[in-house]
């Protein structure tokens, strides 16, 4: 398997929670983190960035929140790093100007066709079976009673009542999305992450997830992006075969199966499921360990949509993995997951990756090295970069489960974390991943039981990771004709 060396590691971050604002984040990326990342995924920085869903409920998707900066600030960052931004294609804020007009004027509003109701998807009425079939990553049905122009309606709200779904059958929706994409690309954004795109294709007679209509909408958005010189990353959580099927049809998909498989390997001392996945996973993938969302379980489980289709892990292995994470985190993840917290997601465990491994520096660094050695474009979440622990204080204040992994860092906290041995080793490995010519060659792997080898080779340049998940011993060695071998081992973390 050959990989382009241009796919340098990217940082995933909220602007306000790491740098404070766009200028502060740019200073970090050009200062202490200079040369480490080739790109950055800016999590929603639109107006407002601190709404009901941490910016994924924009009132104005085409406006940078003035508390964070301006589009000029995004453009300045894009001159030194590739910039990815979220195109939130499934919904907008219920407080957006467009939806507020519908609340006031109902059918007289020109924006009324842009928003989905039960009746607009099921004009002939929905049966009990129709409603029970709808796929949703939350408990209950995806509808909220609202009053539009004096008339009570059942409005489609897949995620929360603050996020109203848009109807991609309407001209208004496409005018809106085109404006958003035009605004982003004009400021240097070259990667568009299609958030929650799997839920856009609501059709009678289906589960309303990843339908044929979804594929049509995705293709249309890709055409808009390509015409403007941008590429598209699809964000879809689901059975691992979905990523394999989607990969040939889009620019990039996520490898959401990798994080739970790495955790399983380190907790169960078993590399076999990861080995099987490396044999079949798509090459045009963005790899992650942690993100702003939880650690996906649905991505390695049996299919919810195709009964009998097995997952990458057996049900007993998944149960053991979830309990291992809860134990390793000292119960912090249990407080933040499922019915224990609001904004709950039935298919994710809310926890920092560092806490999911019991704050064990060796196991944590080994997990990151496995990710960096896996083919694809590596993305590193800001909390994971700084080996952050669960923020249970923030969780207690907000009651939002995912906030346990969304700490607000001060500059002093960032500087202290960057000086820690595990973070220094991570940064060195990320830098190697972006610069070493071996990663432009062929990838191979040999994993069995608890021991494994991952290798990249290009001409006279090689990068090899030998490791054992049983005791978290590892050796990462990089060679090329230009100098002495570069080496990182578990001994680097010993005091």
Q: Are residues 131 and 214 in the same domain?
A: no
Q: Are residues 304 and 394 in the same domain?
A: yes
Q: Is 172 annotated as a binding residue?
A: no
| Catalytic entry in 195, 290, 355, 361 | 195
Q: Considering the domain boundaries, does residue 1 fall inside one?
A: no
Q: Are residues 56 and 112 in the same domain?
A: no
Question: Could you give the count of Cα atoms lying within 13 Å of 373 in the half-sphere of its Cβ?
Answer: 30
- 128 labelled catalytic: no
Q: Considering the domain boundaries, does residue 2 fall inside one?
A: no
Rounded distance between C-alpha atoms, residue 347 and residue 304, angstroms = 11
What is the CATH number for 137? 3.90.400.10
Instruction: Check whether 11 has a pLDDT greater than 50.
Output: yes
Residue 251: which domain range? 10-89+170-437
pLDDT at residue number 6? 45
Q: Is 199 annotated as a binding residue?
A: no
Sort strands 348-349 and 295-296 into parallel, antiparallel or unpaired: antiparallel
Rounded distance between C-alpha atoms, residue 312 and residue 280, angstroms = 11
pLDDT tens for each residue of 77-128: 999 999 999 999 999 999 999 999 999 999 999 999 999 999 999 999 999 9
Q: Considering the domain boundaries, does residue 3 fall inside one?
A: no
- 235 labelled catalytic: yes
pLDDT tens for each residue of 125-174: 999 999 999 988 778 899 999 999 999 999 999 999 999 999 999 999 99
Mean pLDDT of the chain: 93
pLDDT tens for each residue of 204-238: 999 999 999 999 999 999 999 999 999 999 998 88
pLDDT at residue number 495? 57
Q: Is 194 annotated as a binding residue?
A: yes
pLDDT tens for each residue of 345-396: 557 899 999 999 999 999 999 999 999 999 999 999 999 999 999 999 999 9
Q: Are residues 58 and 189 in the same domain?
A: yes
Q: Are residues 236 and 293 in the same domain?
A: yes
Rounded distance between C-alpha atoms, residue 394 and residue 51, angstroms = 16
Q: pLDDT tier at 340 (50, 70, 90 boundaries)?
A: low
- pTM listed for this prediction: 0.94
Q: Considering the domain boundaries, does residue 386 fall inside one?
A: yes
pLDDT at residue number 63? 97
Boundary (domain end) residue, out of 125, 140, 165: 165
| Least confident among 204-208, 266-270, 415-419, 479-483 | 479-483
Rounded distance between C-alpha atoms, residue 217 and residue 223, angstroms = 10
Q: Is 293 annotated as a binding residue?
A: yes
Q: Are residues 347 and 470 in the same domain?
A: no
pLDDT at residue number 343? 41
CB neighbour list of residue 434: distance below 8 Å, 6 or more residues apart: 8, 9, 35, 36, 37, 38
Number of domains in the chain: 3
Q: Are residues 174 and 258 in the same domain?
A: yes
| Catalytic entry in 16, 59, 112, 235 | 235
- Of 386 and 480, the structure prediction assigns the larger pLDDT to 386
Answer for the pair 376, 255: CB distance below 8 angstroms, yes or no. Answer: yes
pLDDT at residue number 253? 96
Q: Are residues 268 and 378 in the same domain?
A: yes
Q: pLDDT tier at 22 (50, 70, 90 boundaries)?
A: very high
What is the number of H-type helices and E-type strands within the chain?
19, 21
Q: Are residues 80 and 221 in the same domain?
A: yes
Q: Is 267 annotated as a binding residue?
A: no
């Amino acid at each position: 398997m050959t990989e382009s060396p241009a796919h340098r590691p990217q940082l995933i971050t909220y602007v306000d929670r790491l740098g404070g604002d766009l200028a502060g984040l740019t200073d970090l990326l050009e200062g202490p983190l200079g040369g480490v990342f080739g790109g950055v995924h800016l999590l929603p920085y639109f107006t407002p960035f601190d709404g009901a869903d941490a910016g994924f409920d924009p009132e104005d998707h085409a406006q940078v929140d003035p508390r964070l900066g301006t589009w000029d600030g995004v453009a300045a960052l894009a001159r030194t790093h590739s910039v990815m931004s979220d195109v939130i294609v499934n919904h907008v804020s219920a407080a957006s100007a467009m939806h507020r007009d519908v609340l006031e004027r109902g059918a007289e509003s020109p924006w009324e066709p842009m928003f989905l109701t039960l009746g607009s998807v099921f004009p002939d009425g929905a049966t009990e079976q129709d409603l029970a079939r709808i796929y949703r990553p939350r408990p209950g049905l995806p509808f909220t009673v609202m009053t539009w122009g004096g008339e009570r309606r059942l409005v489609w709200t897949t995620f929360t009542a603050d996020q109203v779904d848009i109807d991609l059958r309407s001209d208004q929706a496409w005018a809106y999305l085109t404006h958003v994409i035009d605004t982003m690309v004009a400021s240097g954004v070259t990667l568009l992450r299609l958030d929650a795109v799997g839920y856009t294709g609501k059709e009678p007679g289906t589960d309303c997830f990843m339908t044929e209509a979804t594929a049509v909408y995705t293709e249309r958005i890709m055409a808009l992006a390509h015409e403007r010189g941008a590429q598209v990353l699809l964000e879809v959580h689901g059975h691992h075969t979905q990523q394999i099927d989607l990969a040939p049809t889009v620019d990039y998909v996520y490898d959401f199966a990798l994080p739970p498989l790495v955790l399983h390997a380190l907790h169960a001392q078993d590399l076999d499921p990861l080995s099987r996945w490396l044999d079949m996973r798509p090459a045009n993938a963005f790899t992650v360990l942690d993100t702003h969302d939880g650690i996906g379980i649905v991505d390695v489980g049996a299919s919810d949509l195709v009964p009998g289709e097995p997952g990458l892990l057996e049900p007993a292995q998944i149960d053991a993995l979830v309990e291992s994470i809860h134990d390793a985190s000292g119960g912090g993840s249990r407080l933040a997951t499922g019915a224990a917290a609001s904004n709950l997601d039935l298919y994710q465990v809310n926890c920092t990756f560092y806490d999911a491994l019991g704050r064990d520096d060796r196991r944590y660094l080994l997990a990151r090295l496995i990710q960096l050695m896996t083919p694809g474009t590596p993305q590193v979440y800001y909390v994971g970069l700084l080996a952050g622990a669960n923020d249970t204080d923030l969780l207690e204040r907000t009651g939002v489960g995912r906030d346990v992994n969304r700490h607000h860092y001060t500059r002093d906290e960032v500087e202290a974390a960057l000086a820690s041995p595990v973070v220094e080793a991570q940064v060195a490995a990320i830098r190697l991943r972006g610069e070493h010519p071996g990663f432009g060659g062929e990838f191979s792997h040999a994993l069995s039981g608890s021991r494994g080898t991952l290798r990249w080779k290009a001409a006279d340049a090689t990068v090899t990771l030998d490791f054992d998940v049983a005791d978290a011993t590892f050796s990462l060695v990089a060679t090329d004709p230009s100098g002495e071998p570069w080496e990182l081992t578990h001994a680097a973390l010993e005091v």
